Amino acid sequence: MHFFNFQPSSPNRNRKSPSLPSGKMSCTEKLSTGSSGKMKVPHRFEIHSYTRPTVCCYCKKLLKGLIRQGMQCKDCKLNVHKRKCLECIPMDCTGEAPKENCEIPKIHQMKMIPDLQDDESKIPVHEASSNNIPLQRIVQSIKHTKGKNYKVLKEGWLVHHTNREGMRKRHFWRLDTKSVTLFQNDTTSKYYKEIPLSEILSVELSKQNLCTEQNQSYYLELRTANVDYYITEDTNTLKAWETAIRQALMPVDTPKTTNPSTQGNKESSNGANTKKENPEQSLDISLQYQIFPDEVLGSGQFGIVYGGVHRTSGRGVAIKVIDKMRFPTKQEAQLKNEVQILQNIHHPGVVNLEKMFETVERIFVVMEKLKGDMLEMILSSEKGRLSERITKFLIYQILMALKHLHLKCIVHCDLKPENVLLSSDSDFPQVKLCDFGFARIIGEKSFRRSVVGTPAYLAPEVLKNKGYNRSLDMWSVGVIVYVSLSGTFPFNEEEDINDQIQNAAFMYPPNPWKEISPEAIDLISNLLQVKTRKRFTVDKSLSHAWLQDYQTWCDLRRLESEVGTRYLTHQSDDARWEAYRKLHNLEPPPPVPQDAEENLMTFDYPLEPTRNSSGIFGRVRL
């Protein structure tokens, strides 16, 4: 906390105020000394963390940073930068926060942007507590929530009938981003019928003798799997509704230069889990999938991920929409990098790519939809961190997925809890890696230098613009283990990473690390090695004593039984763990999936003896 010194405007200038510290006057203090004889009150500044973009009230520049971006006066809520601007703030504290639309003292001649964070969420710095940054969702991959009330796109009274019922009915139609709802009137919440957009297979404006009136020679047909709706109104009304519904069916794709009849959409599929469809039915993504613009699942390096539905099966999907117009032509190949990599990966620990569509302006990547991510799981836990048992379970799955990637010379380059998706809301869910926008093809002895990843999880060699290899992912795993067990990032912004790592008391303060096993700390220490040659590989990490645990093995076997594929444990370990179980009189593990032998062949990796191991850890599956 910083206090500014002042000298009272009185004849006895050598006399110090007993309640305030003494010192030299700042440059602005001298300029602001007026003849009014008013008492100058210093600000009581303390380090503050802002949840909304906030500017410095002195230089008008943004307070940058992930956390503890600037200083805020405890009394008047003045926000300034930590160093240079802080020294130039005059002693003009009003003693209270400004009211709405209130300007700060005239000497600044600017309006203050107050922090909207509650006082309870301030993070004061105490010597007894850790200065590490609390775990939070990085701005780059901020997670959005779905609103309850969807945006109304069009509404009005319409007359319609169906192919099942010839009687015409008049209802108040309301089109939003999720469905078409037929209300009894324009003021009630009671409705006659709701037609989800995902169930609309086609929208056609047709000419037919459905009615005798000259101004109703056309009708608008909405076709679903079970019922066809025929709307009979004047031509202008029908055309307006046709346009609105078509735009709602494809809310993020409004190409201006493409001609659907001549150009069409390019489509590719990995063919792993989908049937080959008729090319005529695959020209337009809107014919196969409904995208929900209100359901934003997240964002990656190049695009936004929306929730969606496969129209025929009703299966939920995640659709990443990449706007090619935002990037130069030279980067178009890089935009497709994620798709090209995912097309070559078929593993239960990696998100499944279903299809890819491309127009002149956009790329649509259709992937399987999961329940949430690992960061959400950590932040929503009771203590703001995970137990060792759950962390082991999740980390082992991450390492097995990484092993598969590294064997294919693929380095993820942006591993973080946000990119670790979970298949369910249970405490022991299946894990799948996603967001391969930064991924690189790097051989075992090769290095790359391009900028990748999220800074909070990046290894020192990347931050220092040095060459990096697959060990980059292992550093990120170390950070993930740390944040999972502690709920904070392992480093702060004020000191050198190398110095922080060497200070064990700094890296592992008693709260909460006194409750965490030495084996967990040992694995983290071997992963967070500044020198890449000393950093643990995937093999060494999997064979570490912290992960070679009978309870973890049973949890993994239980997951394999649920998934129906044995891809995490290996049959060569069965005898060893069975002997351990009998020796300690423990519960038997879940049965092996019936098709385990067939599925195991796809993910079977060679066995290697482990170094520095003994007893039951003498031989493990790597």
Q: Which residues are annotated as a binding site for ATP?
A: 320
Instruction: Describe the crossing of helices 574-584 and 550-563 by its angle, rounded to 10 degrees.
Output: 130
Token pair, residue 288, equals: 């196969």
Q: How many CB atoms lie within 10 A of CB 349?
A: 22
The enclosing H or E element of 28 equals helix 27-31
Instruction: State the Cα–Cα distance between residues 334 and 352, nearest whole angstrom.
Output: 20
| Nearest 10 degrees: Cα torsion 80, 82, 87, 93 | 40
262 in helix, strand or coil? coil
Beta bridge mates, 203? 222
Q: Is 284 a catalytic residue?
A: no
List, as own/partner pairs, every contact residues 180-185 make where C-beta atoms lie below 8 angstroms and the sequence separation is at least 24, other chains included: 180/222, 180/245
Could you list the beta-strand ranges (E) of 131-286: 152-162, 169-176, 179-183, 191-196, 200-207, 218-224, 228-231, 266-269
Question: Rounded to whole angstroms, what are the CA distances from 501 to 126, 382, 492, 506, 526?
Answer: 20, 28, 11, 8, 11
Residue with structure tokens 């993504």? 285
Catalytic residue among 414, 435, 473, 555: 414
Beta bridge mates, 158? 171
Residue 370, judged by CB atoms within 10 A of its CB (0-12, 13-18, 19+), counts as: buried
Instruction: State the Cα–Cα distance between residues 237 and 240, nearest whole angstrom.
Output: 5
Nearest alpha carbon to residue 57 among 93, 102, 109: 109
Token pair, residue 600, equals: 């195991």
Q: Taking the mean position of all CA atoms in its chain, how far away is CA 343?
A: 22
132 in helix, strand or coil? coil
Q: Residue 217: what residue type?
A: S
Q: What is the DSSP letter of 532?
A: G
Nearest alpha carbon to residue 222 among 272, 267, 184, 179: 179
The enclosing H or E element of 538 equals helix 538-542
By annotation, the residues acting in catalysis are 414
